């Protein structure tokens, strides 16, 4: 078995965690693959692939070490090559990660295949500008439209299979997968959705309305977004580079043909994360308030 390790070495303790993972995997007889720049940090302890794409295509499993953002950076590539992905958390929340640093002994389960795998739905977002070439991005979490906060609110019209379902003025709007429902969409007031489900969530960011509510679409709907941009509108796919959007652009969001296979070592990672990471955070805030 060959494992490609993809760490975010800017995260606190990620370098130490990566070194531990390398040693554990090698002791289990697993071939460890890295890109040259990362392998150099660890004194050439791994085999090398010249590019990230080559590493992903050559491995059996991708292991990310960092936070949820690290997973998002490589998710579409892992899905493209149909590789399983295991996240190890060295970040603050790490909601999508299956393992914490204190649980690295569970890596032996990769060799015995004592783990569950979940298929995670993904979305394709296509921006067709009035002039220029269309851009398509594949996302695991979400597609977010926001304005420059120096500008005024903007009007958004949302259509599903050509039928208008919402017209509102807001700071922005979010379209997320069930996986992304626990990210920005949750902070904007959307519901938690079990990530093994298939659907498209539509959530508003600070709508200028008393009736605006999150909506859930059938996963096979084709969503179209139209803007009447008074200011500067940007689109971000999984928090990536900002794409400028104008009122003349055609924007479509639909279910991707790709899906990501996420390894869940314990078999209960989602509900465990809700109780230990989301609920406990709220509990700590209340306890601190009581102490004051």
141-172 per-position pLDDT tens digit: 999 999 866 666 789 999 999 999 999 999 99
Pairing mode, if any, of strands 135-139 and 116-128? antiparallel
> Which pair of tokens denotes residue 231?
């200011």
Label residue 181 left, alpha or beta by phi (over 0 means left) and psi (-120 to 50 means alpha): alpha
Residue 54 has pLDDT above 80, yes or no: yes
**Mean pLDDT of the region 97-121:** 94
With a cut of 50, say whether residue 74 has pLDDT above it: yes
- Confidence band, pLDDT 50/70/90 cuts, at residue 284: very low
Q: How many CB atoms lie under 10 A from the CB of residue 90?
A: 26
Collect all residues with Cβ–Cβ distance below 8 Å to 213 and sequence separation of at least 6: none
Residues 6+ positions from 99 with CB-CB distance below 8 Å: 86, 87, 88, 89, 106, 107, 265
Among residues 238, 280, 262, 266, the alpha carbon closest in space to that of 100 is found at 266
**pLDDT score at 231:** 64
- Alpha-carbon span 108 to 3, nearest angstrom: 13
Are the C-beta atoms of residues 88 and 17 closer than 8 Å to each other? yes
Which of 37, 53, 68, 291 does the annotation list as catalytic?
Answer: 68
What are the CA-CA distances from residue 211 to residues 55, 166, 176, 207, 235 (Å)?
49, 11, 20, 9, 24
Is pLDDT at 289 greater than 50 in this prediction?
Answer: no
Specify the pLDDT at position 269: 76
> 127 - beta bridge partners?
135, 251
How many whole angstroms separate alpha carbon 121 and alpha carbon 62? 18
Phi-psi region of 82 (alpha: psi -120 to 50; beta: other; left: phi over 0): left
**Predicted confidence (pLDDT) at residue 206 exceeds the cutoff of 70:** yes
When pLDDT is cut at 50, 70 and 90, the band that residue 230 belongs to is: low
pLDDT band at 45 (very low <50, low <70, confident <90, very high): very high
Share of residues in the chain with pLDDT > 70 (%): 92
Tell me how far apart the alpha carbons of residues 162 and 222 are, in angstroms, rounded to a whole number: 8
Q: Quick one: 73 exposed, middle or buried, by C-beta within 10 A (0-12, 13-18, 19+)? A: middle
Q: Look up 68 and say whether it is catalytic.
A: yes
Q: Which of 24, 15, 64 is nearest to 43 (CA)?
A: 15
Give the distance between the most distant pair of CA atoms in the chain.
59
**Which region among 10-19, 118-127, 197-206, 227-236 has the lowest average model confidence (pLDDT)?**
227-236
Predicted TM-score of the model (pTM): 0.90
Question: Tokens standing for 216?
Answer: 């859930």
- Number of Cβ within a 10 Å radius of residue 82: 12
């Amino acid at each position: 078995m060959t494992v490609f390790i993809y760490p975010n070495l800017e995260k606190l303790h990620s370098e130490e965690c990566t070194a531990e993972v390398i040693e554990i995997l090698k002791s289990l007889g697993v071939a460890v693959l890295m890109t040259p720049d990362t392998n150099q940090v660890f004194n050439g302890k791994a085999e090398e692939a010249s590019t990230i794409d080559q590493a992903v295509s050559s491995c059996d499993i991708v292991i990310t070490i960092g936070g949820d953002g690290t997973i998002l950076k490589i998710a579409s590539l892992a899905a493209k090559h149909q590789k399983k992905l295991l996240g190890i958390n060295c970040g603050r929340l790490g909601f999508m990660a299956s393992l914490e640093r204190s649980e690295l002994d569970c890596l032996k389960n990769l060799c015995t295949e004592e783990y569950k795998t979940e298929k995670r739905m993904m979305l394709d977002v296509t921006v067709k500008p009035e002039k220029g070439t269309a851009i398509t991005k594949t996302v695991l979490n979400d597609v977010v439209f926001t304005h420059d906060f120096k500008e005024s609110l903007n009007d958004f019209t949302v259509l599903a299979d050509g039928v208008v379902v919402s017209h509102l003025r807001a700071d922005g709007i979010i379209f997320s997968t069930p996986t992304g429902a626990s990210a920005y969409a949750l902070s904007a007031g959307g519901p938690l959705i079990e990530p093994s489900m298939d659907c498209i969530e539509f959530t508003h960011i600070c709508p200028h309305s008393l009736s605006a509510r999150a909506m859930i679409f059938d996963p096979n709907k084709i969503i179209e977004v139209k803007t009447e941009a008074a200011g500067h509108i940007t689109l971000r796919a999984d928090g990536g580079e900002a794409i400028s959007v104008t009122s003349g652009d055609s924007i479509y969001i639909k279910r991707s043909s790709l899906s990501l296979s996420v390894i869940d070592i314990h078999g209960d990672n989602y509900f465990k994360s809700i109780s230990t990471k989301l609920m406990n955070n709220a509990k700590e805030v209340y306890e601190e308030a009581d102490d004051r």
